[in-house]
Amino acid sequence: MSRIGGSLSWELRKLENGSRINNRIVNFFDLCLSKEHFKKVGSNSTMSLANLNIPIALNTSKNNLVENFFVPLLQNSALYDRGVGYFSSGWIKETFEGMFYFAVNGGKARWITSPILSKEDWDALVIGNEAKGDGILKKALETAIDDLSNSLEKETLLALSWMIADGIIQFKLAKPRNKLTSEFHAKVGIFTDLDGNSISFDGSYNDSINGLHNFESIKVFRSWDSTAEYVKHEKELFEQIWNNEDPNIQVFSIPDAIEQQILNLRDDIERPYPKPEWLKLKAVREYAGEIIIPTPHKPENIKLRGYQEEAIRCWFNNQYKGVLEMATGTGKTITALSAAVHLLEKESRLFTIIVCPYIHLAQQWMGEAENFGYRPVLVAESRKRWLESAYKLVRDFRADSITHASLITTNASFLSSDLRDIIGEYDIWENVLMIADEVHHCGSQEMLKVLPEKIPYRLGLSATPIRGYDETGTERLLDYFGEIIYQFDLEQAIAQGFLTPYCYYPTPVHLTDDEFDEFIILTRKLTRMHPDPEKPMSEDALKIAIKRARVLNNSQSKVDWIRKNIESSNDYSYTLFYVGDQIFDDVRKLIGFEKRIPIHEFTHRQSLSERKNLIDNFAKGIIQAFVAMKCLDEGVDVPPTRTAYFLASSSVSREFIQRRGRILRNYPGKQLANVYDLISVPPAEYLYRGKSDENYKAVRSAIRREYLRIKEFASLAENKHQALGKFLNIINEFDLLDI
């Protein structure tokens, strides 16, 4: 292990720039460094919001808004969403009793505010946000705080930073656009308890000390009485703005706000946030004395399973090259990081590059890698955020200042020449281990062109490494990474208890006449362009195939099936509805509004942290069901799921295998999963006309496409034979029993 030497307080005093941000950190660390590590206090006993006697209207003349409103609501809430024109940290200090228990009870708050902040408040936001993605800085903040309630009284700004770093509070900044040209001036708040009860309020009040001393009034609405519709409206409006879906309001995360320089810092004059403030944050990291940077190691709490150890042995025996084909949910990430640690122990000097197809996967790898003692640089999105850090990391490794280093990058960022140019400039390729998650993505023509031949250590990971309709890409991919050296499939994972057993219920749903007419037209086009289904598709043929698949996935008959078969009186806890893009809103409104089932959408629109919060509420039963779209194919798990309705399907085996695997993750109390698969089939009259019908080939094509998936899903189901029963007569009519 290595240390960054010296006392943190003393090192910070060495910094030449004596700004407010440095002085505040120095004073705070002087006060706290000698104390024990922060210890969480016991959870406050909470009650339902429905049991609080909150008036329907309050004002600062008659009521103490802190004591009579904010503190009791915060103490008893799990979620707090706030849209407000002005925010200051002074409000946190005034309401510290409520915020204290809100924090220790695991509460999560989201603030949308205008970008008109005091200089000190902005510093606190930046420190906290930086700490979220920097394990070293976050540890320094956590170690420094001895008592949260005490720090809120004495060091409000740094407490605010800590709460942001710990994910208790999220901030986004809002700025009007298009037809709105002035300021974001919302005044709405929504509290929600663990039982799903909500109280919303609006009025003239801002989150500032002045707001407590002005004459301000608010009105209160409840989700369990006649004002429930207003609460629902405010929730929907908040989510729309938070997700940047309002056409006239643009929201920014903290880094985006810095880049676009939209901030008006309350000082003598208005000005954007200056770049030197970021340099001070960098200095905190560089001079973080007494923080130990460990050599990568397997955590003590992780015990490798037998098949994981066997996979690592196969990779070592194959000269550190090869692909691991392991089912979703069987621990590919842990296996790969353990292999990397073993290789570092053998070689003593190693630069690890982890390549992921998506940013959310890269972020997940960051968390796992940090548990293994790595301190990766995340190379993704804007080069301004990572270029300097990556350059320094490669330079230090080349100079032997460090013996191990790691980068985690998206495929898109690796395709860009910047990262490859930096590594090439210092010529460290011969010391590199490349780990490619969802390795089949590296078989694209673009990626194959840039994969460096000098890299000696290569490890590919995927539940489905074979590229559909791309034999050439698959062959070149395996030439580069090595053959598939180890397989641990879904059947083995279920049999050995690493995934949950499931029952499968394929349910035929007839297309409408118009939908089937469109399907026939597209099928004829596809047959002309792609006559041999065993050969790779051209790009144009693939577009037609995708368009045809969308007809099946978005049939209005599936919406009708949900309307007839999903009953409001039933319990849909831990249920997931996987829906096509064109009927997504229809299904969401049908289940959530008409059926009154507590749901939330679960899509690409939610960030990694938002998804984590949603899954936590899903597991607690606050949210009964998710309506999901395009988020289960790779990298996103919803372990509590016990029942899944697939309204959208895929003929690509990789995709439906991924989707199935992700809902079979083990979870406490989960003994069996149930999968309901709504299968699009032609209108009834077409099924029995026989080969003489002019549309016979199109009908057979539709049935064949779906039956391949049904066979795959049914093959491992607990009710295998019953699952196929409904379709045996149909597939026999079209000579498909032998496929």
Determine if residue 537 is left, alpha or beta; phi over 0 gives left, psi from -120 to 50 gives alpha, anything else beta: beta
Q: How are the residues of the chain apportioned to helix, strand and coil, as percentages rounded to the nearest 5? A: 45, 20, 35
Helices and strands in the chain: count of H runs, count of E runs: 32, 25
pLDDT score for 526: 87
| Nearest CA-CA partner of 439 in 463, 403, 423, 409 | 463
pLDDT for residue 317: 97
Report the alpha-carbon distance of residue 190 to residue 516 in Å, rounded: 46
Q: What is the pLDDT of residue 408?
A: 96
HEC sequence for 231-299: HHHHHHHHHHHHCCCCCCEEEECHHHHHHHCCCEEECCCCCCCCCHHHHHHHHHHHCCCCCEECCCCCC
User: Residue 600: helix, strand or coil by DSSP?
Assistant: strand
Rounded (5°) CA angle 215-218-221: 170
- The overall average pLDDT reported for the chain is 77
Helix or strand run (H / E) with residue 71: helix 71-75
Kindly state the DSSP code that residue 67 receives in the 8-state scheme: I
pLDDT tens-digit readout, 257-288: 433 332 333 333 332 223 333 333 444 444 44
Q: How many CA atoms, within 13 angstroms, populate the side-chain half-sphere of residue 233?
A: 8
CA-nearest of 408, 394, 407 to 356 is 408
User: Is there a contact between 638 and 600 (Cβ–Cβ < 8 Å)?
Assistant: no
d(C-alpha 180, C-alpha 507), whole Å: 49
Q: Which domains does the chain have, with CATH numbers?
A: 2-34+54-286 (3.30.870.10), 294-494 (3.40.50.300), 500-733 (3.40.50.300)
Closest of 37, 36, 29 to residue 13, by C-alpha: 29
Helix (H, G, I), strand (E, B) or coil at 494: helix
Separation between Cα atoms, residue 79 and residue 376, nearest integer Å? 32
**Running along the chain, 739 residues long, what does each successive block of 10 average in pLDDT?**
33 34 35 31 60 86 83 88 69 68 78 64 54 48 43 53 70 73 70 88 63 70 88 89 83 53 34 31 42 75 94 97 93 96 93 93 90 92 84 90 93 91 92 96 93 97 85 92 96 93 92 92 88 76 86 93 92 92 92 90 78 84 87 67 87 66 88 93 78 78 80 91 79 63
Cα angle 595, 598, 599 (rounded to 5 degrees) comes to 95
Any idea what DSSP says for residue 672? -
pLDDT in tens, 467-516: 876 888 899 999 999 999 999 999 999 999 999 999 999 998 999 999 99
Q: What is the pLDDT of residue 39?
A: 32
CA 146 to CA 131: how far, in whole Å? Answer: 18
- H or E element at residue 448: helix 445-450
pLDDT value for 138: 44
End-to-end CA distance of the chain: 58
DSSP 207: B
pLDDT of amino acid 724: 82
CA-CA distance, 157 to 140, in Å (whole number)? 15
Residues with Cβ within 8 Å of 692's Cβ and at least 6 positions away in sequence, in order, are none
pTM above 0.85, yes or no: no
* DSSP 8-state class, residue 66: I
List the one residue out of 227, 179, 226 whose CA is nearest residue 200: 227
**C-alpha 355, offset from chain centre:** 17
Cβ atoms within 10 A of the Cβ of 64, count? 12
**Alpha carbons 438 and 416: distance in angstroms, whole number:** 19
Residues 6+ apart with CB under 8 A from 27: none
